[in-house]
């Protein structure tokens, strides 16, 4: 019988921790602690501790966490923020939301993350910050990025949406910049059962400004110091995340094992490049992304064998219609443009069986 392989299997994860999840949800309902309250506070403390940060400000989703951080860092109209040419659009659209101008920088050919060697060419007197993305679960080159930021007095927000617990130089991602943003979208390495996000920092004053902005401009109800927004993690999501958090180390290890097995089984396939690790990085493998010269026919071949694959992401950010106003051409971002038609994400999730893994590898290997 043919093995069907979904891209991810959220239900399998739920079944593996069904009892504590059901109990946690029932407890939130029993105590009606839906907004703010003990479940949210507990998760904020636990998550800060898990990622080695002093403060965690939870919010409604990962997109908001970027926007909240930029607003609290004081982005003003005309300010320029440099970010990678290859990511999910949240990374760049929030720069515009915060009032800034997006400046795209091309990616590094092997890791798909922002290329530090090209950042300085984009710095102008209006530049205020850099947002590297730890794409697919691999850290951007943070030592090099922080050196540039220090030299030019720029802030750095790390977009850790795909990279919970990834490391570089044995340091956790999120521990380098002024703030780190996280998404707990259900399919993320640490996923809620709905939308959820957080921003972490070691700067108490920044944490206060972020919390204030996310909560209608006031830390205490009714005391609005500024106009803010309503971006809250709810009690149900917080309770679910608290049950899942202790499993994150084990789930990440399992993702790394699956990736190693894929590397072993696919390393010699002609025309295929397995994920390349930069120096001293520990990849969290949110996604296992291969590059293939015949990407679209390969994806079709996999689909015909009941194997789901996804393209993350089919178009480099600067080339999207959303950024037509910037007048970019493909030649401006040769690496991101080269990759957009070659990258393919294969199924990877902690509950994936070795039979499923082998089915994917065999299907890829049988492609002609």
Task: Report the interface residues with ligand PLP, using CB under 6 A.
Answer: 61-63, 87-88, 90-91, 133, 159, 161-162, 183, 185, 195, 197
- Beta carbon nearer to ligand PLP, 157 or 272: 157
| Least distance in angstroms from the C-beta of 65 to ligand PLP | 8
Calculate the CA 191 to chain-centre distance: 11
The full length of the chain comes to: 368
- Beta carbon nearer to ligand PLP, 183 or 309: 183
CB 317 within 8 A of CB 288: no
- Beta carbon nearer to ligand PLP, 190 or 211: 190
- Beta carbon nearer to ligand PLP, 95 or 133: 133
| Least distance in angstroms from the C-beta of 285 to ligand PLP | 14
- Beta carbon nearer to ligand PLP, 62 or 235: 62
- Strand pairing category for 281-282 and 272-273: unpaired
| Least distance in angstroms from the C-beta of 61 to ligand PLP | 4
Query: What's the half-sphere exposure (Cβ side, CA atoms, 13 Å) at 86?
Result: 30
- Beta carbon nearer to ligand PLP, 86 or 328: 86
CB 98 within 8 A of CB 327: no
Residue at shortest CB range from ligand PLP: 62
Non-local CB neighbours of 1 within 8 Å, separated by 6+ positions: none
| Least distance in angstroms from the C-beta of 310 to ligand PLP | 12
| Least distance in angstroms from the C-beta of 66 to ligand PLP | 6
Phi, psi angles (nearest 5°) of residue 290 = -100, 165
As a whole number of angstroms, the distance between CA 318 and CA 339 comes to 14
| Least distance in angstroms from the C-beta of 31 to ligand PLP | 26
As a whole number of angstroms, the distance between CA 266 and CA 274 comes to 7
| Least distance in angstroms from the C-beta of 83 to ligand PLP | 10
- Beta carbon nearer to ligand PLP, 58 or 91: 91
| Least distance in angstroms from the C-beta of 259 to ligand PLP | 18
Buried b (16+ CB within 10 A) or exposed e, 16-44: eeeeebeebbeebeeeebeebeebbeebb
| Least distance in angstroms from the C-beta of 62 to ligand PLP | 2
- Beta carbon nearer to ligand PLP, 88 or 364: 88
Burial (CB count <10 Å: 0-12, 13-18, 19+), residue 267:
exposed
DSSP bridge pairs for 307? 5
- Beta carbon nearer to ligand PLP, 39 or 184: 184
ω into 313 cis (within 30 of 0)? yes
């Amino acid at each position: 019988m043919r093995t069907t392989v979904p891209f991810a299997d959220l239900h399998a994860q739920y079944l593996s921790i069904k009892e504590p999840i059901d109990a946690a949800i029932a407890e939130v309902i029993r105590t009606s602690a839906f907004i703010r309250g003990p479940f949210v506070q507990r998760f904020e403390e636990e998550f800060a501790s898990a990622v080695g940060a002093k403060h965690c400000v939870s919010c409604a989703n990962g997109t908001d966490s970027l926007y909240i951080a930029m607003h609290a860092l004081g982005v003003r109209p005309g300010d320029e923020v440099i970010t990678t040419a290859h990511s999910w659009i949240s990374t760049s659209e929030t720069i515009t939301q915060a009032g800034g101008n997006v400046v795209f920088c091309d990616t590094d050919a092997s890791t798909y993350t922002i290329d530090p060697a090209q950042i300085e060419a984009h710095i102008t007197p209006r530049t205020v910050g850099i947002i590297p993305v730890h794409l697919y679960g691999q850290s951007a080159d943070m030592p090099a990025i922080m050196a540039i930021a220090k030299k030019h007095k720029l802030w750095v927000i790390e977009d850790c949406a795909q990279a919970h617990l990834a490391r570089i130089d044995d340091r956790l991602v999120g521990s380098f910049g002024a703030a780190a943003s996280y998404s707990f979208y259900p399919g993320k390495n640490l996923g809620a059962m709905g939308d959820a996000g957080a921003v972490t920092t070691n700067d108490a004053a920044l944490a206060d400004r972020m919390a204030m902005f996310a909560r209608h401009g006031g830390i205490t109800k009714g005391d609005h110091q500024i106009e803010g927004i309503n971006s809250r993690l709810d009690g149900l999501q917080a309770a679910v995340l608290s049950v899942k958090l202790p499993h994150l180390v084990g789930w990440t290890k399992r993702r790394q094992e699956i990736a190693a097995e894929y590397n072993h089984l696919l390393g010699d396939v002609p025309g295929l490049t397995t994920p390349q690790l930069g120096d001293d990085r520990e990849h969290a493998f949110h996604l296992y992304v291969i590059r293939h010269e015949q990407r679209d026919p390969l994806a079709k071949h996999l689909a015909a064998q009941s194997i789901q694959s996804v393209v993350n992401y089919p178009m480099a950010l600067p080339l999207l219609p959303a950024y037509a106003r910037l007048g970019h051409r493909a030649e401006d971002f040769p690496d991101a443009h080269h990759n957009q038609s070659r990258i393919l994400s294969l199924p990877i999730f902690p509950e994936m069986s070795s039979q499923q893994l082998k089915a994917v590898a065999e299907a890829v290997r049988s492609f002609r």
